[in-house]
Amino acid sequence: MKNYDVIVIGGGHAGYEAALAASRMGVETLLLSMSKDTIAQMSCNPAIGGVGKGHLVKEIDALGGEMGMAADETGIQFRVLNSSKGPATRGSRCQSEMYEYKIRIRQVLEAQSCLTLAEGLADDLLFEGQRVIGVRTAAGAEYLGAAIIMTTGTFLNGLIHRGTERVEAGRINEPPAKKITHSMHSLGLKMGRLKTGTPARLDKRTIDWDQTAEQWGDDPIQKFSFRDSVVRLPQVPCYVTYTNEDTHRVIQDNLQQSALYSGAIKGIGPRYCPSIEDKIVKFADKNRHQIFLEPTGLESLEIYPNGLSTSMPADVQLKFLRTIPGLHNVEIIRAGYAIEYDFVDPTQLLPTLELKDVENLFLAGQINGTTGYEEAAAQGLMAGINAALKAQKKPPFILKRNEAYIGVLIDDLITKGTSEPYRMFTSRAEYRLHLREDNADQRLSEKGWRLGLLPEEYYLRVQEKQKHIHSLLNTFETSRITPRSEINDELIAFGETPLKTTASLADLLRRPGFTLQSLKTLNFMETMIPWDDFAPEVLSQVEITIKYDGYLNRQQQELKQFDELEKIRIPLELNYGSISGLSREVIEKLKHFRPANLGQASRISGITPAAVNVLRIFLKNHPSVQAKAS
């Protein structure tokens, strides 16, 4: 029987980030997964990032995680989505060489000290009372660990549906994890059932590309990582095509054969990533849907038709695919399918992702009701960090909603739970102007470095960048321009109103008619700032800070108020029934959720501002109760 500090079960996107975080923090870690060959597999779309998801990748990177570096090194098309919109909603995305991605992650894992990789199907958790102490595999191997992180994705009681066909599986051609599901159920955890789906993979050689529109990525490329990753693979295009009325007719005519519509699937699917049959029923007035034909790799023959996830029988899939321009002669390499699986109600988790009632058992990824590689990786990183800290008997590491999208993700899960696969959007963050992709390094690199995850050179680099930003901001605020005729003539020629009184450079930049780039072109600006001394990312931070300073300052005030409530901690075992002034309903809710602080309590649905006030007064008058929570 081998002994570890941290054992991670599952080598998906949550699993590898968890294993890397724990081992990089210096604790002996085991990554136990069904097969080493499927570590970091992209089960569905061959892409990393997107709106909201790109934020998560950049935050993982700033904290010292791996996803951003791996995405850069194996990306074959990079685009910033929403680039014409404000900085808060921009989202970086890359098309991935998904085979190279797996290889790269595996190489990083194999080179990592304090980390052992093992193959095996985890069947049972080992307990001492309500405390988990290890895991037993189907082959009978036992491993002991001070903390266990379950990252089993869609494998718990996984059931694949395609038409009327049902196969017990964790993913296509992979067995489900049945015994460990029983182990989880026997803990008395509240669990539910969700579903997700994937489209058919198409044979590249059978597509008529001339009938589709080519789409290239951005030039120049903006990478995910602020570290020294290199985009080294050739860049390739994706192709765009559309469904049409014929496609919709085939799907309508065969709706009863869809596992989703025949009632065979009970689990709830991702609202924001619906199957094609769902789109056709729910948006019946739309006469076409956009489809992206995405390469899965540079040498791969498989094309991923993004937007065509389905649970129709294979012959119906082929029939509707062949109605789409470019796909009239297409052949399927692997048919699409839907999968149902069990997940654990995440309201049973602490902010560290440890279960409230099962000591030392952490959960991360799809098992907590999320969907997406990025959401999984973010949770994996946080669970890995907290499991390592627990093994080292150090205080936990928690990111708040006002610090990171990762904080929003975890707080949403543990405070609100989820009844459908949860994915990240920028609209989920109330402080999104403050939590931008472009400042993830400034927000989080110090924390990553202090945890021992981010190498010091990168942290110092961010410090240096901050210095440059502050110095340039200072120059903009303190450099005054007087309304001289040569300046006003230039402003008028530019279509701007002339100055009547002295103004700062920042005042000029605040004008809607100016961008930093356009301001730079004015002759009088040339000598005012040594432009070449500042890197493009410094200039862009200065521009955003000045342009949005009104909103940012207002948000800063809100952040302070938010922080006050978060600081008032609540012990898990607080007897809410003994607090007078709380209604029975509120007491029941608080007993169920057991919030970690007053801020979290205030976000539980049904907890009124009056109830928060009662709690606040109670905690203030009973400092000894609060002390128990620290």
DSSP code for 552: H
- Smallest Cα–Cα separation from 57: which of 90, 106, 19, 11? 90
Q: Which of 74, 196, 229, 348 binds ligand FAD (CB under 6 A)?
A: 196
Say if residues 196 and 267 touch (Cβ distance below 8 Å).
no
Q: CB of 117: closest distance to ligand FAD in angstroms?
A: 11
Q: Which residue reads 């948006």 in tokens?
A: 283
Nearer to ligand FAD, 312 or 598 (CB): 312
Say if residues 199 and 310 touch (Cβ distance below 8 Å).
yes
- Give residue 401's region: left, alpha or beta (phi > 0; psi -120 to 50): alpha
Q: Which of 23, 151, 229, 243 binds ligand FAD (CB under 6 A)?
A: 151
371 binds ligand FAD (CB under 6 A): yes
- Smallest Cα–Cα separation from 451: which of 373, 352, 384, 406? 384
200 binds ligand FAD (CB under 6 A): no
Q: CB of 109: closest distance to ligand FAD in angstroms?
A: 12
15 binds ligand FAD (CB under 6 A): yes
Q: Which residues contact 131 (CB under 8 A, 6 or more apart)?
A: 358, 359, 360
- Binding segment for ligand FAD among 5-13, 81-89, 483-491, 494-502 (CB under 6 A)? 5-13
Nearer to ligand FAD, 68 or 87 (CB): 68
Q: Which residues contact 158 (CB under 8 A, 6 or more apart)?
A: 168, 169, 170, 171, 176, 177, 339, 340, 341
Nearer to ligand FAD, 14 or 382 (CB): 14
- Binding segment for ligand FAD among 86-94, 370-378, 450-458, 601-609 (CB under 6 A)? 370-378
384 binds ligand FAD (CB under 6 A): no
Q: Which residues contact 121 (CB under 8 A, 6 or more apart)?
A: 34, 137, 138, 139, 175, 177
Q: CB of 488: closest distance to ligand FAD in angstroms?
A: 54
- Binding segment for ligand FAD among 72-80, 194-202, 230-238, 519-527 (CB under 6 A)? 194-202
Q: CB of 122: closest distance to ligand FAD in angstroms?
A: 4
373 binds ligand FAD (CB under 6 A): yes
152 binds ligand FAD (CB under 6 A): yes
**β-strand partners of 9:** 32, 150
Q: Which of 6, 7, 13, 544 binds ligand FAD (CB under 6 A)?
A: 13
CA distances from 561 to 566, 599, 606, 611, 622 (A): 9, 10, 21, 18, 22
33 binds ligand FAD (CB under 6 A): yes
Strand order through the sheet with 91-96: 47-49, 91-96, 75-81
Nearer to ligand FAD, 44 or 389 (CB): 44
Please give the Cα distance from 101 to 74 (Å, whole number).
6
14 binds ligand FAD (CB under 6 A): yes
326 binds ligand FAD (CB under 6 A): no
Please give the Cα distance from 308 to 201 (Å, whole number).
10
- Binding segment for ligand FAD among 149-157, 595-603, 606-614, 615-623 (CB under 6 A)? 149-157
Nearer to ligand FAD, 111 or 139 (CB): 139
CA distances from 53 to 49, 224, 283, 318, 475 (A): 5, 11, 25, 31, 35
- Binding segment for ligand FAD among 7-15, 515-523, 566-574, 592-600 (CB under 6 A)? 7-15
**Which residues from 115-144 bind ligand FAD, rule CB under 6 A?**
121-122
Q: Which residues contact 51 (CB under 8 A, 6 or more apart)?
A: 81, 82, 89, 91, 425, 426
- Smallest Cα–Cα separation from 359: which of 345, 344, 348, 347? 348
**Which residues from 571-600 bind ligand FAD, rule CB under 6 A?**
none
Q: CB of 386: closest distance to ligand FAD in angstroms?
A: 17
Q: Which of 23, 43, 402, 439 binds ligand FAD (CB under 6 A)?
A: 43
**Which residues from 164-193 bind ligand FAD, rule CB under 6 A?**
170-171, 177, 180
Q: Which residue reads 């017990």 in tokens?
A: 168
CB neighbourhood size of 272 (10 A): 11
Q: Which of 4, 5, 8, 10 binds ligand FAD (CB under 6 A)?
A: 10
CB-neighbour burial class of residue 338 (10 A; exposed 0-12, middle 13-18, buried 19+)? buried
Please give the Cα distance from 145 to 31 (Å, whole number).
11
Q: CB of 537: closest distance to ligand FAD in angstroms?
A: 28
Q: Which of 217, 372, 407, 417 binds ligand FAD (CB under 6 A)?
A: 372
**β-strand partners of 286:** none
- Binding segment for ligand FAD among 146-154, 431-439, 468-476, 580-588 (CB under 6 A)? 146-154
Q: CB of 96: closest distance to ligand FAD in angstroms?
A: 13
54 binds ligand FAD (CB under 6 A): no
Q: Which two tokens stand for residue 553?
A: 């300052």
Nearer to ligand FAD, 381 or 601 (CB): 381
Q: CB of 38: closest distance to ligand FAD in angstroms?
A: 5
237 binds ligand FAD (CB under 6 A): no
Please give the Cα distance from 144 to 278 (Å, whole number).
45
Q: How many residues bind ligand FAD (CB under 6 A)?
A: 36
296 binds ligand FAD (CB under 6 A): no
339 binds ligand FAD (CB under 6 A): yes
Q: Which residue reads 């904290």 in tokens?
A: 63
Q: CB of 236: closest distance to ligand FAD in angstroms?
A: 21
365 binds ligand FAD (CB under 6 A): yes
Please give the Cα distance from 508 to 279 (Å, whole number).
48
DSSP per-residue letters across 220-243 = S---S-SSS----SPP--EEEEE-
How far is C-alpha 556 from the geometric centre of its chain's CA atoms? 24
Per residue, what are the HEC states of 399-465? CCCCCCHHHHHHHHHHHHCCCCCECCCHHHCCCCCCCCHHHHHHHHHHHHHHHCCCCHHHHHHHHHH
Query: What string marks each residue from 483 to 522 as x (binds ligand FAD by CB under 6 A) or -?
Result: ----------------------------------------
Nearer to ligand FAD, 14 or 508 (CB): 14
Which residues sit at the interface with ligand FAD, rule CB under 6 A? 9-15, 32-34, 38, 43-45, 121-122, 151-155, 170-171, 177, 180, 196-198, 273, 339, 365-366, 371-373, 376
